[in-house]
Amino acid sequence: MNNRKNAYTEVYTILQDLEEEEYKKIPPEIIETIKANRNEEYRYELNEELELKDHPMLPETKAILFNLFRDYLATPEQKQKIIKMQNEEIRKNELQKQKRYSTDVFKNRRKTN
């Protein structure tokens, strides 16, 4: 539970560093939810010398940022590419599950007429 609140703190800090034009693309209610659910005692600082991808951050933070990017900041082409990639990943996972848990109960039965 604390990781989620810390992740919201990290996300909120990162959002505060966005260009105003990008920041305004994210609905205010989303930003308010992030702000309201963050851990205000947790400190997360951005190092101006590092690229965002090089900052240490929680896996939950990365997931939230990914979803924010996909839903609000990505260009239509980027969004399509992300959705295509996610759908392919889902398809692969489903195929793996089918192979792993294959239960064809009729496979070994003989045909009788």
- Provide the domain count of the chain: 1
Report pLDDT for 52: 81
At 53, is the pLDDT very low, low, confident or very high (cuts 50, 70, 90)?
Answer: confident
| Domain assignment of residue 84, yes or no | no
| Domain assignment of residue 67, yes or no | yes
Task: Domain of residue 25: give its range.
Answer: 2-75
State the DSSP string of 37-97.
HS-TT------TTS-GGGS---HHHHHHHHHHIIIIIS-HHHHHHHHHHHHHHHHHHHHHH
Query: For the chain, how big is the Rg over CA atoms in Å?
Result: 21
CA dist., res. 105 & res. 34, Å (int): 49
One-letter amino acid of 32: E
Report pLDDT for 103: 66
| Domain assignment of residue 57, yes or no | yes
Report pLDDT for 113: 60
| Domain assignment of residue 20, yes or no | yes
| Domain assignment of residue 100, yes or no | no
One-letter amino acid of 45: E
Average pLDDT (2-21) is 92
Say whether pTM exceeds 0.85: no
At 112, is the pLDDT very low, low, confident or very high (cuts 50, 70, 90)?
Answer: low
| Domain assignment of residue 96, yes or no | no
Question: How far does the chain reach from its first CA to its final CA, in angstroms?
Answer: 60
Task: Report yes or no: 38 and 5 within 8 Å, Cβ to Cβ.
Answer: yes
